[in-house]
């Protein structure tokens, strides 16, 4: 084999290996909805908000993976022990272990309360009940069977639904 053929073969091999690594990392970073035992393992059984701890409604929880060890975990809680004022805006918990964007607005790492309102907004609050972020939600009239809470993968990112209303979560 001639010297130029060896160099060509080595260069081609290196290009294939480099392309595989880059393509593998792109595929790996695609957001995915977590289900089954992994969802159960990630979800807290109760959540503290505004001076009280409430049990999680395990059937109404969802999580998404953004990369190897980056998660967003959401769930509805039993708000019956809270005042009517708190129940009007607080539905459940929203936990993210890395910075994310919700409908293009940045949200830092942390544990939060959330609620969807009747006027087409999703509110994110700190654990003391103070507003941190408010974004407009989209109403999905084509959704066949709306659930109280769910997540689905889409081209834009992860859609986080509360009944027919949703926001899009993306990695920051």
For the chain, give every domain's residue range. 1-29, 32-171
Which pair of structure tokens corresponds to residue 86?
A: 């708190």
State how far the alpha carbon of 29 is from the alpha carbons of 26, 61, 130, in Å.
5, 22, 32
Residue 158 near residue 64 (C-beta atoms within 8 A): yes
Q: Give residue 8's pLDDT band: very low, low, confident or very high (50, 70, 90).
A: low
More confident of the two residues 90 and 20:
90
Task: Give the pLDDT of residue 155.
Answer: 93
pLDDT tens per residue across span 49-107: 999 999 999 999 999 999 888 999 999 999 888 888 888 899 999 999 999 999 999 99
| Cα 95 to Cα 105: distance, rounded to the nearest angstrom | 16
Task: Give the pLDDT of residue 21.
Answer: 52
Task: Give the pLDDT of residue 41.
Answer: 95
| Cα 13 to Cα 18: distance, rounded to the nearest angstrom | 9
Strand partners, 47: 54
| Cα 71 to Cα 144: distance, rounded to the nearest angstrom | 27
């Amino acid at each position: 084999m001639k010297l130029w053929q060896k160099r060509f073969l080595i260069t081609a091999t290196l290009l294939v290996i480099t392309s595989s690594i880059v393509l593998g990392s792109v595929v790996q970073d695609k957001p995915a909805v977590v289900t089954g035992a992994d969802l159960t393992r990630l979800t807290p059984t109760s959540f503290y908000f505004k001076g009280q701890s409430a049990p999680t409604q395990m059937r109404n929880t969802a999580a998404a993976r953004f990369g190897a060890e980056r998660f967003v975990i959401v769930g509805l809680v039993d708000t019956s022990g809270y005042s009517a004022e708190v129940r009007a805006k607080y539905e459940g918990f929203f936990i993210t272990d890395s910075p994310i964007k919700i409908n293009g607005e940045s949200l830092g790492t942390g544990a939060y309360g959330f609620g969807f309102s009747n006027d087409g907004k999703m509110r994110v609050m700190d654990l003391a009940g103070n507003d941190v972020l408010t974004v407009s939600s989209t109403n999905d009239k084509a959704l066949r069977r709306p659930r109280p809470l769910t997540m689905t993968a889409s081209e834009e990112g992860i859609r986080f639904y509360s009944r027919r209303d949703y926001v899009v979560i993306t990695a920051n």
